[in-house]
């Protein structure tokens, strides 16, 4: 599908972004060449190579949706809004990548018949504990439950469609589950936001694709589906919510043409914008290192805050190790006591932050800035400084 893509940049050797590891595993850590390409035919930015999905999504998966109260709230609003607009009593709902069940549970509590797909069994177990029915596997038409075949009113997903290598197969799966008038609604980090913010840390092994409206339209129309609405979201540093249905459902198409025009003007549908982005990433790396070394030369202590997947790209691309950042504070029990992938910075329980305030804290979850700076407001009051490569 993407054989005419052009490679336009490389981030060098990268480890698995969520593989927070023990010291004993430092010597057998897996690395891959993280090269990025753009396919002009499909307007699609993608990784050239990436680890096998089972290396990333398994019983040791370390991302949990419910670590952010803001995201819990966001998904509650998602479920309410979509229910009002699209669902009737007795509707059937599928979620792809339901993780710990945060979003799907909001639909279940409204009385809909729900089914989740989740290959990472540790997080799937948490969803099951909420009483949700979960197929503990990668989404596929192979697992088509007869109860949901061609009868599903809503298929929803968040921050997972960009993880799925074979998009043709994904769309075949959507086709096998969705009812005639059903809708597929998903939201993913948006290419336009990444280019604007120079948030290159959105690129890591799991994010095989960074989508735009142009790319989603082209991908789905090939299979008789139609993108009929797109809504920008502020979550995860700038995302887009896409609304898809069967073309023969013959409904109204809303803002797509005008948004495509915006993307055209920003050259998001061609390689030119990617080359600008590459240039901007190199400048950003240089600036970040210069600033961090400036802090260090002044004798200031720098720590990290939030051991995100995104931080794996920043730390390994800029080669930031314990000589610059002493540790990273985080709330996730599964990450605490381990070391960051590749650069091996210790991950410490966030509760210790207040007793060890650094002079500067690199906020790796810059996308959760409001939630975190509010929670840690004393840090700023005591003279601490938040830092990031993106504008805070």
**Sites of contact with ligand TYD (CB under 6 A):** 63, 67-68, 306-310, 330-332, 335, 350, 365, 367-368, 371-372, 375
Sign for the CA dihedral angle at 20, 23, 28, 31 comes to positive
What are the residues binding ligand SAH (CB under 6 A)?
A: 53, 57, 61, 63, 65, 96-97, 99, 117-120, 123, 138-139, 158-160, 163-164
Nearer to ligand SAH, 149 or 291 (CB): 149
Nearer to ligand SAH, 75 or 295 (CB): 75
Nearer to ligand TYD, 262 or 392 (CB): 392
Name which of ligand TYD, ligand SAH, none residue 310 binds, using a CB cut-off of 5 to 8 Å depending on partner kind. ligand TYD
Nearer to ligand SAH, 208 or 260 (CB): 208
Which residue has the closest beta carbon to ligand SAH? 97
Nearer to ligand TYD, 73 or 80 (CB): 73
Name which of ligand SAH, ligand TYD, none residue 160 binds, using a CB cut-off of 5 to 8 Å depending on partner kind. ligand SAH
Name which of ligand TYD, ligand SAH, none residue 118 binds, using a CB cut-off of 5 to 8 Å depending on partner kind. ligand SAH
Nearer to ligand TYD, 280 or 331 (CB): 331
Name which of ligand SAH, ligand TYD, none residue 365 binds, using a CB cut-off of 5 to 8 Å depending on partner kind. ligand TYD
Are 220 and 246 spatial neighbours (Cβ–Cβ below 8 Å)? no
Q: Smallest gap, in angstroms, from Cβ of residue 181 to ligand TYD?
A: 33
Nearer to ligand TYD, 182 or 342 (CB): 342
Q: Smallest gap, in angstroms, from Cβ of residue 17 to ligand TYD?
A: 7
Mapping DSSP onto H, E and C, the string for the chain reads CCCCCEEEEEEEEEECCCCCECHHHHHHCCEEEEEEEEECCCCEEEECCCCCHHHHCCCCCCCCHHHCHHHHHHHHHHHHHHHHHHCCCCCEEEEECCCCCHHHHHHHCCCCEEEEECCCHHHHHHHHHCCCCEECCCCCHHHCCCCCCCCEEEEEEECCHHHCCCHHHHHHHHHHHEEEEEEEEEEEEEHHHHHHHCCHHHCCCCCCEEECHHHHHHHHHCCCEEEEEEEEECHHHCEEEEEEEEHHHCCCCCCHHHHHHHHHHCCCCCHHHHHHHHHHHHHHHHHHHHHHHHHHHCCCCEEEECCCHHHHHHHHHCCCCCCCCCCEEECCCCCCCCECCCCCCEEEEHHHHHHCCCCEEEECCHHHHHHHHHHCHHHHHCCCEEECCCCC
CB atoms under 10 Å from CB of 263, counted, come to 19
Q: Smallest gap, in angstroms, from Cβ of residue 232 to ligand TYD?
A: 18
Q: Smallest gap, in angstroms, from Cβ of residue 356 to ligand TYD?
A: 15
Name which of ligand TYD, ligand SAH, none residue 61 binds, using a CB cut-off of 5 to 8 Å depending on partner kind. ligand SAH
Name which of ligand TYD, ligand SAH, none residue 198 binds, using a CB cut-off of 5 to 8 Å depending on partner kind. none
Q: Smallest gap, in angstroms, from Cβ of residue 117 to ligand SAH?
A: 4
Nearer to ligand TYD, 284 or 308 (CB): 308
Name which of ligand SAH, ligand TYD, none residue 307 binds, using a CB cut-off of 5 to 8 Å depending on partner kind. ligand TYD
Q: Could you tell me if residue 334 is left (phi over 0), alpha (psi between -120 and 50 degrees) or otherwise beta?
A: alpha
Q: Smallest gap, in angstroms, from Cβ of residue 224 to ligand SAH?
A: 22
Nearer to ligand TYD, 230 or 307 (CB): 307
Distances, alpha carbon 94 to alpha carbons 127, 183, 191, 383, in Å:
13, 11, 26, 48
Q: Smallest gap, in angstroms, from Cβ of residue 85 to ligand TYD?
A: 26
């Amino acid at each position: 599908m993407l054989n005419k893509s052009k490679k336009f940049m490389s981030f060098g050797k990268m480890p698995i972004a969520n593989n927070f590891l023990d010291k004993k595993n430092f010597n057998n850590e897996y690395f891959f060449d993280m090269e990025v390409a753009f396919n002009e035919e499909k307007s699609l930015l993608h990784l050239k190579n990436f680890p096998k999905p089972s290396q990333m999504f398994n019983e040791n998966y370390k991302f949990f949706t419910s670590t952010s109260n803001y995201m819990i709230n966001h998904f509650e609003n998602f479920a309410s809004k979509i229910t009002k607009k699209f669902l009737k009593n007795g509707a059937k709902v599928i979620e792809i990548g339901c993780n710990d069940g945060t979003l799907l549970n909001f639909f279940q509590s409204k009385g809909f018949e729900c089914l989740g797909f989740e290959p990472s069994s540790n997080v799937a177990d948490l969803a099951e504990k909420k009483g949700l029915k979960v197929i503990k596997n990668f989404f596929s038409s192979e697992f088509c439950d007869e109860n949901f075949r061609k009868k599903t009113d809503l298929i929803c997903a968040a921050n997972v469609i960009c993880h799925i290598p074979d998009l043709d197969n994904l769309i075949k799966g959507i086709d096998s589950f969705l009812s005639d008038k059903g809708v597929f609604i998903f939201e993913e980090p948006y290419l336009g936001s990444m280019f604007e913010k120079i948030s290159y840390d959105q690129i890591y092994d799991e994010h095989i694709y960074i989508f735009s409206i142009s790319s989603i339209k082209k991908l789905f129309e090939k299979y008789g589906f139609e993108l009929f609405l797109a809504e920008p979201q502020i979550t995860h540093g700038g995302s887009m919510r896409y609304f898809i249905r069967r073309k023969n459902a013959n409904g109204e198409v809303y803002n797509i043409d005008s948004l495509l025009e915006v993307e055209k003007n920003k050259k998001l549908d061609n390689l030119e914008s990617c080359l600008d982005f590459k240039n901007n990433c190199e400048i950003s790396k240089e600036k970040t290192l210069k600033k961090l070394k400036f802090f260090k030369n002044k004798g200031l202590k720098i720590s990290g805050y939030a051991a995100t997947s995104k931080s794996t790209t920043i730390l390994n691309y800029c080669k930031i190790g314990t000589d610059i950042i002493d540790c990273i504070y985080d709330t996730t029990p599964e990450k605490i006591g381990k070391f960051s992938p590749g650069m091996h910075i210790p991950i410490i329980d966030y509760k210790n932050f207040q007793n060890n305030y650094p002079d500067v804290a690199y906020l790796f979850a810059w996308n959760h800035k409001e939630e975190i700076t509010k929670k840690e407001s004393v840090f700023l009051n005591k003279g601490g400084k938040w830092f990031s490569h993106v504008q805070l």
